[in-house]
Structure 1
């Protein structure tokens, strides 16, 4: 069961409040609620009525801490991006198979580090059996390594995390393979249009053009909003048409690629005859573009499954052992744009 947690400890009635309103000791109230030990029916009814009026709920986190067990894993992520849904589905599936529930916590996409610092105490108060972090924030990743000393913690990241358990997508190798593919198709002027969080792709691109002896055609950018990225792609597409020697291929994100295709169409540049376009991430719309977009896909369900399996390995075996980094490869989805 997927649970979104927003209620905090301050919102809930406590045993102390029940004790004060009934005039009974906390020990008596606790035994009455649990039905343990000798409690008269009159006393039990008094406690139940008070609990109902105060909307009292047992503190499952405290119970879990006392038993040193918990039946929940927590997932904390800093974006609402669609690819994360498949990861969450996989984690949930693994959790249900193991008899666990899954609590999902969102930080702020714009200020993930500060929001994380505020949210973390609430997450830990629920006393989860383990924690999965899906984030690009270096601050949060470092905290994840620290948390590993207290409870099982796995991060889903772009690069291996020193000292921490992680599942990472090898975007650098994916970008390298994309250039290699275009090179084998006869392309010799391969451009790279940068967008937000494309540093690993940039590394793979630069290494590939160096290995294959190709010129570097790098168009910098740091846009994050999909609409702005598409607009920039459209302008870049029109810009390519004015170059004395334009690229014969371009590698970029799917959002940028969608704008490029529109810009090329507006200026009469034919894809893939004049220029090949290769995207990154295999977004839902990639196959619907004109022409359908060749793109690199990351197996999001497998990523989530690997993260959950690694987490349960730690839950079952304790925190001993060297940190593990599980590498996930990207797959090239061939379509008509190349």
Structure 2
């Protein structure tokens, strides 16, 4: 009996592409669709109805895979997921990977063993191809972080525009040398926020300044260390955009320890609007991500996939906002 893998091999396409053809997706070229359909007809392939029935024997459990449960960004996202899950009689299993491929593989194994009905990925070490193949077999949704150009549903904000708005705020308030506190990784959020920073500099006629770019690791302590590097600059920056609130809060603490005044000497803008952002001193100007809504909509999207609804290529972008507080002048 022919399998979906046999069809993919004979047609010279991926399993995900065969799945798209079977689901009637518009994201398949007509020539490819025709070739796949010919192979399906020639092999006499039909979707495994028994497997389909087994998949309907649901566990009422979903997996939520995230890199660090200690990161305050995720708390409201998880709350949104959990509230929708509970409303639909689903249990939520939090899967903390510590960015370990081995741990992520273990949790994916639970999905393969039918111990959960679907998975929400907050961050993944899988390649786009690996994720697409997995999504062709099991309900999955990318939330916040995502791989571009693959057939896996995703929900996020426009990180590039959000970063541009943050740096525009500094430039429009007269800051001339605007620094960037970034992170050394290839996550889509990092790449897009870096691009947004560069976009704003160019728009406002500010030169790219490699000396004003600092690298952290999302932590409070890496923000403090960035402040120490700023203090050693011959001509310090007068504004900094940080890719996360925890780094921004650490940066402000470190700058004050070095004798700088916030915002009189240096303005600081963060990203995420975690709960600490409004209670630190001074209160942090930051980009607000609708974290609860991200989780809520991600779970709603996953439920649709579990029910076999949708095409699998849904892409939802939620609106962000800039929250102006006392850390900028």
- Residue of structure 1 equivalent to 2:138: 151
> Aligned partners of 2:179, 2:213: CA distance in 1, in Å?
11
The answer (yes or no) to whether the contact 2:143–2:155 under 8 Å persists in 1 is yes
Q: What is the aligned length?
A: 270
The answer (yes or no) to whether the contact 1:156–1:167 under 8 Å persists in 2 is yes
> Aligned partners of 1:216, 1:248: CA distance in 2, in Å?
15
- Residue of structure 2 equivalent to 1:118: 106
Over 3 Å counting, the alpha-carbon distance change for 1:261 and 1:156 in structure 2 is same
Over 3 Å counting, the alpha-carbon distance change for 1:117 and 1:317 in structure 2 is closer
Structure 1 spans left out of the alignment, 5+ residues: 1-62
- Structure 1 vs Structure 2 CA RMSD: 2.7
- Residue of structure 1 equivalent to 2:94: 104
Over 3 Å counting, the alpha-carbon distance change for 1:104 and 1:308 in structure 2 is same
- Residue of structure 2 equivalent to 1:332: 322
- The one-character-per-residue Cα deviations of 1:110-136 (angstroms, maximum 9, x if unpaired) are 42x232223322233244332211214
Over 3 Å counting, the alpha-carbon distance change for 1:336 and 1:67 in structure 2 is closer
TM-score by length of 2: 0.73
> Aligned partners of 2:301, 2:91: CA distance in 1, in Å?
17
Q: Does 1:85 align with 2:75?
A: yes
> Aligned partners of 2:312, 2:111: CA distance in 1, in Å?
25
Rg comparison, structure with higher value: 1
- The one-character-per-residue Cα deviations of 1:102-159 (angstroms, maximum 9, x if unpaired) are 233332x142x232223322233244332211214243x5433212211221011335
Which deviates more from structure 2 when the two are superposed, residues 257-266 or residues 170-179? 257-266
Q: Does 1:265 align with 2:233?
A: no
The answer (yes or no) to whether the contact 1:189–1:248 under 8 Å persists in 2 is yes
> Aligned partners of 1:276, 1:334: CA distance in 2, in Å?
11
What is the CA-CA distance between 1:67 and the residue it aligns to?
A: 7.0
The answer (yes or no) to whether the contact 2:64–2:120 under 8 Å persists in 1 is yes
The answer (yes or no) to whether the contact 1:237–1:260 under 8 Å persists in 2 is no
- Residue of structure 1 equivalent to 2:198: 206
- The one-character-per-residue Cα deviations of 1:80-99 (angstroms, maximum 9, x if unpaired) are 12222222221121122122
- Residue of structure 2 equivalent to 1:280: 271
- Residue of structure 2 equivalent to 1:236: 229
1:130 to 118, 128, 133: 118
- Residue of structure 1 equivalent to 2:171: 183
Structure 2 spans left out of the alignment, 5+ residues: 1-50
The answer (yes or no) to whether the contact 1:91–1:308 under 8 Å persists in 2 is yes
- The one-character-per-residue Cα deviations of 1:38-58 (angstroms, maximum 9, x if unpaired) are xxxxxxxxxxxxxxxxxxxxx
> Aligned partners of 2:120, 2:281: CA distance in 1, in Å?
38
TM-score by length of 1: 0.71
2:286 to 271, 284, 295: 295
> Aligned partners of 2:54, 2:247: CA distance in 1, in Å?
52
Over 3 Å counting, the alpha-carbon distance change for 1:101 and 1:268 in structure 2 is closer
Over 3 Å counting, the alpha-carbon distance change for 1:171 and 1:87 in structure 2 is same
- Residue of structure 2 equivalent to 1:217: 209
- Residue of structure 1 equivalent to 2:27: none
Over 3 Å counting, the alpha-carbon distance change for 1:89 and 1:269 in structure 2 is closer
The answer (yes or no) to whether the contact 1:65–1:127 under 8 Å persists in 2 is no
